[in-house]
Structure 1
């Protein structure tokens, strides 16, 4: 038996766009189920919002997301968490960085650091902070 953790990101109306963006950056399969797919949503205006979504890539990358309904409180917060992506292939991490950097605020450029062959931090266009690194061999 194994246990895995998966970041689950909460949005208000941007979950589909965020998941599509992350799929473009990391590849893999996108699965989206809307409130409308589940039956009658609380608010018909939110029928197309995501009740459950996921990007799952063959290299092990996985992220989940959903749209918090308007009937529930939601705040994106200020740095409540980072999503960390670690790998051993510099090209793969650099490609993901390039995808995520589109429209992002770069907090730390992707470059060698004292603890990693490559390390970088950015806040993507959806306000999610990502840390990407390549561990030393």
Structure 2
């Protein structure tokens, strides 16, 4: 079984998908509401009904635009955690720097009291990310 984050946006899922592809690399796929004849509002026909990013690291992000007829809360109440070991420090720091660009750092990426390296950032799309880098002999 896999667990994949599914992110909701109002009308900028396509823009967010492009941003996350620039952060993590990989390939994207998009289906619009029009593709499935599921658009109730003509303005929403080209909105993303389902978008997906498959990154080389194995990360899969899914996302969609939320129609105006549905309630939408930017960012919600969840965080996405990216975890790795010191050998992946450069890769994780690269993700961190790109996610922080245009976002807000909540906790700088630095050594916390429990060891390793940890930070929290809210990206430009109001998604909260936690980055955790453990010593090689610890579990992530």
- State TM-score, norm by structure 1: 0.91
CA RMSD of aligned residues (A): 1.4
State the shift of 1:59 in Å: 1.1
Match of 2:83 among 77, 80, 86: 86
Counterpart mapping for 1:40-119 below 5 A: 41-76=39-74, 80-88=77-85, 89-119=88-118
Which structure 1 residue ranges, 4+ long, deviate > 4 Å from structure 2? none
Q: Which residue of 2 aligns with 1:135?
A: 134
Residue 4 of structure 1 aligns to a residue whose secondary structure is coil
In the alignment, is the contact (CA less than 8 A) between 1:116 and 1:134 conserved in 2?
no
State the shift of 1:39 in Å: 2.4
Match of 2:30 among 7, 32, 37: 32
Structure (1 or 2) with the greater helix fraction: 2
State the shift of 1:33 in Å: 0.9
- In the alignment, structure 2 segments of 5+ residues that lack a partner are none
In the alignment, is the contact (CA less than 8 A) between 1:52 and 1:64 conserved in 2?
yes
Length, aligned pairs only: 134
Q: Distance in 2 between matches of 1:59 and 1:37?
A: 29
